A and B are shown apart, each in its own frame.
Chain A
Amino acid sequence: MTGPDVHRALSRIAHEIVEKNHGSDDLVIVGLQRGGVWIAEALAAKISQIEPELVVPLGVIDVSMHRDDIDLRPASQVAISHIPCDITDTTVVLVDDVLFTGRTVRAALEGLNSFGRPKCVQLAVLVDRGHRELPIRPDFVGKNLPTKNSDEVLVSVDGVTVTAGEGK
């Protein structure tokens, strides 16, 4: 995906979020630290262009303390959660850059619970690269990208690139 492709995908997802929720006024967009944060910001900005009267709070959540593989990963940089409002009885749209095993999203779902009980949680990702290890599926996808388990997927405003890993 090129930069303009990313831009177009985000515009479509923003429209889909508004459409699926019937312009509902209890949306909260929550980006996953760190890759999902700029995407969440971009989606919130686009949604407020589409529906100017809608106020969409924007939060970020760091899931490192909720991971089930905390002992298997390199030390993560410190990132801080910030949820600007009570999320109980709201519709939370979790936003991440790449959906892979689903473990980050599972951790985020658990993390959200310590802030309140949303009416509903939806998931928006820019890239779904497959290889799920948990029963988790996205509601909004920028692009489905078939990858090998060992590939590395890099996402930025300038586009999405896949580099071959060592393979196994």
Chain B
Amino acid sequence: MKHIRSISEIGKAGVLAIVERAKQMSEINSRPVPKVPALRGKTVVSLFLEDSTRTRLSFETAAKRLSAETMNFSVSTSSVNKGESLRDTIETISDMGVDAFVVRHKSSGIPWQIEQWTDASIINAGDGAHQHPTQALVDCFTVSEAFGVDSFEGLTISIVGDIRHSRVARSNVEAFAMLGAKVIIVAPSTLLPPDVGHWPVTISNDIDDVIGTTDILYMLRLQSERMDQGLIPNLSEYGNRFGLTEKRVSQLPLNARIMHPGPMNRGVEMQVDPSHLSQSLIHRQVANGVSVRMAVLFTALTLNDDRDHAIQGLSKEAAQ
């Protein structure tokens, strides 16, 4: 798989293979010296044209633990400020010889556009409100680890918040449903996407309807701009109706877990401090981010179709 751009492109078999590979990476991360030479000689560029903390840092850590070279690109100090186009930027970096671009951009579809300008692998680290496939892979791995299952058959996962503007919701709904989970989305009608009728989900407008029967409560961040756009009346009313409060935590089933992709808005969707909650998987999500992104880089850079085609000609000698 040369590019990792959307959950549908990766497919169910691909999601399962990356989650499996991430277990191996997780073991490497637990070693006294958590570094292997698997991607020695490869160069990975982080091209983040939108802000990020955990995604960017976990990709960089992942690349380093696999011994890849990393190049960093920061918009504020680059020629983008002099008006250089994205195409020229990509072509310039490609000319330096890179094997993968890790791209985050505010426009949906950018990873597919970039593919036309470079021979390198493209890893989507978030494109507009479209996809954030590595977050979905991290979350699948985290659920699989917490519940000790590979298939999510029989699990109910409720995703609560601004579904409409969330690339995490789009990727996660697809991935969770692909692995067999029953997915419920919970949001005010103004924050539901227009095409939600085609999604493999059940829709609810009331968190209290789902909280008693959900295995995983997945909270999304509510951006304050949504209030200025008139999509919600005000933050505290949103918080009261859709936020996670002490009372709601107490209504969760015994073995239910809480997830959040970060960054959190404390006092809005998170009215409790999740670090005090035994149900929280939020720290696991961050820790697993490195292992899963190692699996993603490894998959894109060593297990891609071009290479598989090239080695088909080799004799069985290599297989011994």
Supposing A72-B311, A113-B33 touch, asked if A82 and B27 sit within 8 A by C-beta, the answer is yes
Binds A, one of B35-43, B200-208, B269-277: B35-43
How many contacting A-B pairs (Cβ < 8 A)?
A: 72
User: A residues near B, CB below 8 A?
Assistant: 62, 64-66, 69-75, 78-82, 98, 100, 110-111, 113-116, 149-150, 152-153, 165-166, 168
User: B residues near A, CB below 8 A?
Assistant: 20-21, 23-24, 27-28, 31-38, 66, 298, 302-303, 307-308, 311, 314-320
Chain B min CB distance to A66 (Å): 6
Q: Which of B21, B27, B35, B315 contacts A150 (CB 8 A)?
A: B315
Q: Is the CB of B315 within 8 A of A166?
A: yes
Chain A residues, CB < 8 A from B315: 150, 165-166, 168
Expressed in whole angstroms, the Cα–Cα distance for A144 and B28 within the complex equals 34
Q: Which of B20, B31, B308, B318 contacts A78 (CB 8 A)?
A: B20
19 contacts between A and B (CB under 8 A): A64-B38, A65-B24, A65-B36, A65-B38, A66-B37, A69-B318, A71-B307, A73-B319, A75-B308, A78-B20, A78-B23, A114-B31, A114-B36, A150-B317, A152-B316, A152-B320, A153-B320, A165-B315, A165-B317
Chain B residues, CB < 8 A from A80: 23-24, 27
Expressed in whole angstroms, the Cα–Cα distance for A98 and B315 within the complex equals 18
Q: Is the CB of A114 within 8 A of B33?
A: yes
Expressed in whole angstroms, the Cα–Cα distance for A150 and B24 within the complex equals 31
Chain B residues, CB < 8 A from A72: 311, 314, 318
Question: For residue B20, which residue of chain A has the nearest CB?
Answer: A78
> 6 extra interchain contacts, Cβ-Cβ under 8 A, other than A78-B21, A113-B33?
A62-B24, A71-B307, A72-B318, A100-B320, A165-B317, A168-B315
Question: For residue A116, which residue of chain B has the nearest CB?
Answer: B32
Chain A residues, CB < 8 A from B24: 62, 64-65, 78-81
Q: Is the CB of B35 within 8 A of A114?
A: yes
Chain A residues, CB < 8 A from B21: 78
Expressed in whole angstroms, the Cα–Cα distance for A110 and B298 within the complex equals 19
Chain A residues, CB < 8 A from B320: 98, 100, 152-153
Chain B min CB distance to A107 (Å): 9
Expressed in whole angstroms, the Cα–Cα distance for A72 and B298 within the complex equals 14
Chain B min CB distance to A143 (Å): 16
Chain A residues, CB < 8 A from B34: 114
Residue of B34, B66, B318 most packed against chain A (CB within 10 A): B318
Expressed in whole angstroms, the Cα–Cα distance for A69 and B314 within the complex equals 13
Chain B residues, CB < 8 A from A168: 315
Residue of B24, B66, B311, B320 most packed against chain A (CB within 10 A): B320
Chain B residues, CB < 8 A from A98: 320
Expressed in whole angstroms, the Cα–Cα distance for A161 and B185 within the complex equals 57
Q: Is the CB of A70 within 8 A of B33?
A: no
Residue of A65, A80, A150, A166 most packed against chain B (CB within 10 A): A65
